[in-house]
Structure 1
Amino acid sequence: MNETRRLRRPAEGGYARGDETRRRIIEAAIELFGEKGFTAASTREIAALAGVNAPALQYYFENKEGVFRACAESMADDVWTTFAPVVESAQATLETHDDVDALVDAFIAIQDALAERMLHAPKTSSQKLFFMREQSGHEPQIGSEILEARVRRPLNQVSARLVAKISGSAPDDPVTLIRMVSLYGQLMLFHIAPRSALSILGWSEIDAEKEVLLRSTVREQTRALLRMWHSEGAALAASPDGGAAPRRRTSTRRTG
């Protein structure tokens, strides 16, 4: 897909009105891209839903690819407002602290922000569908590239660095990354497959009391696992070979 040109904006006093028009087009496009997908949603439908004419859409976004890019950028910016403070705080902790408690607290703060985003951030069904379609890999690659660059990569990088420093491993070690993903997976199940998760618990919804239980349980498990990995890493570093030996998988297969 060709790179779209920089979006045009009205000059002088037209900024406020132009921004409002642009916002309406993006909201309409997210709804239609979510419901129909990029290929099936037409620029004419997007313009009609936004209450503008087709030339206005072209004026602000050049073409449908430009609209899709703007949708991904808007959603990435919205998501990043939740994570920016805790990511910046975690980066500062990594630079200034070696204390395991401070590092664990920094990771849990990111995890809490994730829970807050999943449980309380306003999301329409169209926004959820937009993300689902993007994750399926059938939508334009530029959407994933924007979300990766603006949200996922910085969030995952700082999280991997925290797990690595706590456990005495490398941030790009597959074990480190699997551990990071597994810690976040405790919450992601309630976001990706909420019906199944609630069914297992016998819950119809996550009310305030159940949310406290969910979040406190995840925090306790996360803290326990991170401390355990820290202890294992410290023991490995103190071993005669200084932790130089590669990890070995313990086999339970019986021989003979």
Structure 2
Amino acid sequence: MSQTKRPRRPSAGGYARGDETRQRIIAAALELFGEHGFAGASTRDIAAAAGVNAPALQYYFQSKEGLYQACAEYITHELKARFAPAMRYASAALKKADSDTETLIEAFIGIQAAMVDSMLTPSHASKGQLIGRELAGEAPDVASKLLRKHLRQPLNRVTLGLLARISGLAPDDPVTRIRLLTLKGQILSFHYPPGACLEVLGWREIDATKGALIKDVILAQTRTLLHSWVAVPAAGGGRKLQSATRSV
């Protein structure tokens, strides 16, 4: 796909108006790409939803592919910014050889909290649909690749590192990786398939109050599990690695 081209604009006021228009187009495109897929979302419909004329899309993004690339970059930038504080804290904790267990657990909880917040944000729905269509082969694999490189891989490295330090197991130990997936699974239950959790919960929707309750429960469960996986000190000092048969 071609890279998104930013047009030249003549003044500070023009830049502000242009950036606002560009963001409005991206917001409309995210909704329609998520709802109808890349092929099903027409540039005419996107322009109408954004309140601009069709040539504006070509002016700001050159093509439909360029607009899709801009949407993928927007999703990636927004999610990276959301996770940045928790990632900084966790990375700092891992760099210190003397970080205690509670610090490592709280670092993991911080990342888990960011995941829950991201998943329950109302605007996440269209972004999740867009990525879901990519994974299903119904759209160009653009956002998925960007997120894998700039967010998912760094998150996996840090969270596996935290679990390894907490439990005394290696980051590449299958038990460590299974545990990470189970912890993530708590959150995914409220995301995919879309709306399926509402039937079990008996809710019509997840508002701010209900979202806060979900977050509290998930983080409490995560903290309990992490404490249960703390490595047991060996009799002669140091840390005793737990075997897969004892820890699963």
Interval containing the TM-score (normalised by the shorter chain): 0.7 to 0.9
Between the aligned partners of 1:124 and 1:223, the Cα distance in structure 2 is 25
Unaligned runs of 5+ in 1: 251-256
User: Does the alignment pair 1:101 with 2:102?
Assistant: yes
Equivalent residue letter for 2:116: A
Deviations 1:9-41 (A, max 9, x none): 223413122212211221221122112111222
Deviations 1:111-164 (A, max 9, x none): 122222233x23175344223323323211122112222322222221111112
Match of 2:8 in 1: 10
User: Does the alignment pair 1:136 with 2:150?
Assistant: no
Between the aligned partners of 2:235 and 2:185, the Cα distance in structure 1 is 27
Match of 1:110 in 2: 111
Displacement of 1:50: 2.8
Quick one: structure 1 residues 217 and 127, their matched pair in 2 at CA, closer, same or farther if it must change by over 3 Å? closer
Quick one: structure 1 residues 50 and 209, their matched pair in 2 at CA, closer, same or farther if it must change by over 3 Å? closer
Equivalent residue letter for 1:130: L
Deviations 1:83-107 (A, max 9, x none): 1111111111111243111101110
Report matched runs for 1:165-204 at 5 Å: 165-193=165-193, 195-204=195-204
Alignment RMSD: 3.1
Match of 1:85 in 2: 85
Between the aligned partners of 1:98 and 1:49, the Cα distance in structure 2 is 51
TM-score, normalised on structure 1?
0.79
Between the aligned partners of 2:47 and 2:178, the Cα distance in structure 1 is 44
Q: 1:47·1:53 contact (CA, 8 Å) conserved in 2?
A: yes
Q: 1:7·1:62 contact (CA, 8 Å) conserved in 2?
A: yes
SS at structure 1 position matched to 2:74: helix
Unaligned runs of 5+ in 2: none
Q: 2:168·2:231 contact (CA, 8 Å) conserved in 1?
A: no
SS at structure 1 position matched to 2:70: helix
Q: 1:118·1:191 contact (CA, 8 Å) conserved in 2?
A: yes
Of 193-202 and 222-231, more deviation after overlay is shown by: 193-202
Quick one: structure 1 residues 43 and 235, their matched pair in 2 at CA, closer, same or farther if it must change by over 3 Å? farther
